[in-house]
Amino acid sequence: MHSFGHSYIHPLQNSEGVALPKKFTFPFYYEPHPLCVQAASQLQLYLENQTDFVHNFGLDPAMDGLVIGKMFGVMVVKQADGTLGYLAAFSGKLAESNDLKGFVPPIFDTLDETGFYKIGEAKLNQLNKEIETFENAVELKKAKTKLTELKEASQKELAAFKSLMKVEKLKRNQQREEAKQLLSVQAYDVLFNKLKTESIRYQLELKRLKKEWDKKIEHAEMQLSALLEPINQLKEKRALLSASLQKRLHEQYQFLNAEGETKDLLAIFKNTVSPNPPAGSGECAAPKLFQYAYKNKLQPIAMAEFWWGASPKSEVRKHKQFYPSCRSKCEPILGHMMQGLNVEDNPIEKNISYDKDLEIVYEDDYLLLVNKPHEFLSVPGKTYNESVLTKMKRYLPKAKGPLLVHRLDMSTSGLLLVAKSERIHKQLQKQFIGRTVKKRYVALLNGELEQVSGQIDLPLRVDLDNRPQQLVCYEYGKPAVTNYEVVAIENGKTRIHFYPITGRTHQLRVHAAHIDGLKTPIVGDDLYGTKTDRLHLHAEQLTFTHPVTKELLNIVCEAPF
């Protein structure tokens, strides 16, 4: 399949006998339906062999140009005659275009040269050029330099004069002290008044100097202000044009839903945390797929999105792997677009409970260590209260203080340290802050590692577009360092020990999966790898000094996998 043809609806091969899903895919947490896997395979085969467009995905080392991997989406749809087909879409632009043969069209074509957006963009570019010309003018640079030099000269001369005044004041004080011993009262009064007049003269001179410099500086500021005025006017004009262009653009993005209702971006984001739609809202694959399906009376059956190309430097993105829709842009939009559709429940919102008592691995009068089950919260969340903390409060009704000394990600199982009093909590926390607590995690990686041991140093920050996922970011990320040691390789999987030096959110998961880390995600990682029955990551060992007995405790809780 080297060409997509002219139709937007592509035939699904080998779909006979595959049962349709009872509900439409929940796009933010899903396992792709077999029909979507089939559609994605067909699209990927096309991408591997196509000659319709040129784009550097980073898969061909010989190819020139900027490497840009892409998210692609497929939506299985039922046509009016009951036959199945699939739609294909890409996020953003592809090959410098947002409307390519065989892929559903954009919600609004921002690249249309005759459209208001391109015309407005050209006006903005012209304003930017004018502003740049004014800002690079020789007269402006001279005026700025002159003002800086005057201010520096003013400070220098005034500082020197104040130093002179201090020296002269000391001299006058000395003269007064000596005169008290030597002169008569009458002669001393004459000298006192003379010295007083001298002091006033210095103060008046300082005022005069200040006034003189203020006048020079004010004149230079007026000259600079006159040169800046046209720049400020142009910037104001640019801001107004940009705001009106953005508003008009947001109004053009009209999204349908299954009930036939239409809302624009401004209406969709009105009651969200950020009422201003993020840049690129509506340009992702998922909204394009829904829009085309609704406009053409096609029934959405299932959907999936996958990454095509080299992994970016910040996110964890693997070639051909399926990923959920982004949250910051798509969650409000798809929330509207899926109204009227029978959608799968959000599995994350299913009741997080653990009916049994928690396993206590070690306990004494001052502290205890508990084995946290996987997919169970350390502390209460926004929606669910049940957690290790709430269970510990019931188990230790007389205990005071925060109890939990540290936390584990919900998906991670293993040792959690609990203090029975505020004093013990503070002492234990001090050890964590001082990094004297030794932690060992065991994980199973989805692949075979060549390296036997080493260190991963990749700074992390939250992905603002896709919370709670983390990004590698050298500019704003917090330091994140992990030592590791391979234990065994079995059935194409690597059993590994992680020794985290820092304790960032998802640190071990990102360090394992990232292209600059181990490039091998943890088995069952639904965020950075492939979902299975569980995340195979377990906090296996904690070594710390007992705050009362001063004994070195080394507590081990073996992994259940």
Q: Which residues are catalytic?
A: 409
Angle between helix axes 185-252 and 116-135 (nearest 10 degrees) is 160
Cα separation, 12 vs 3, in Å, equals 15
The HSE-up count of residue 380 (CA atoms within 13 Å, CB side) is 10
Cα separation, 3 vs 49, in Å, equals 9
The closest alpha carbon to 262, from 302, 292, 291, belongs to 291
Can you spell out the DSSP letters for 238-284?
HHHHHHHHHHHHHHH-EEE-TTS-EEEHHHHHTTSSSSSPPTTTT-S
> Residue-wise over 264-286: b if at least 16 C-beta within 10 A, else e?
bbeebbeeeeeeebeeebbbbbb
- Looking at 3-109, list the stretches that DSSP marks H as alpha helix, in order from N- to C-terminal side: 34-49
Around Cβ 209, how many Cβ atoms within 10 Å?
Answer: 15
Cα separation, 191 vs 228, in Å, equals 55
Q: Would you give the end-to-end CA distance of the chain in angstroms?
A: 43
The HSE-up count of residue 309 (CA atoms within 13 Å, CB side) is 17
CB 317 within 8 A of CB 67: no
| Lookup: tokens for 3 | 């060409």
Cα separation, 527 vs 514, in Å, equals 12
| Lookup: tokens for 385 | 């209260």
Q: Which residue has the tokens 């040269």?
A: 113
Q: 555 CB contacts (<8 Å, ≥6 apart)?
A: 361, 362, 369, 415, 541, 542, 543
| Lookup: tokens for 352 | 């997080």
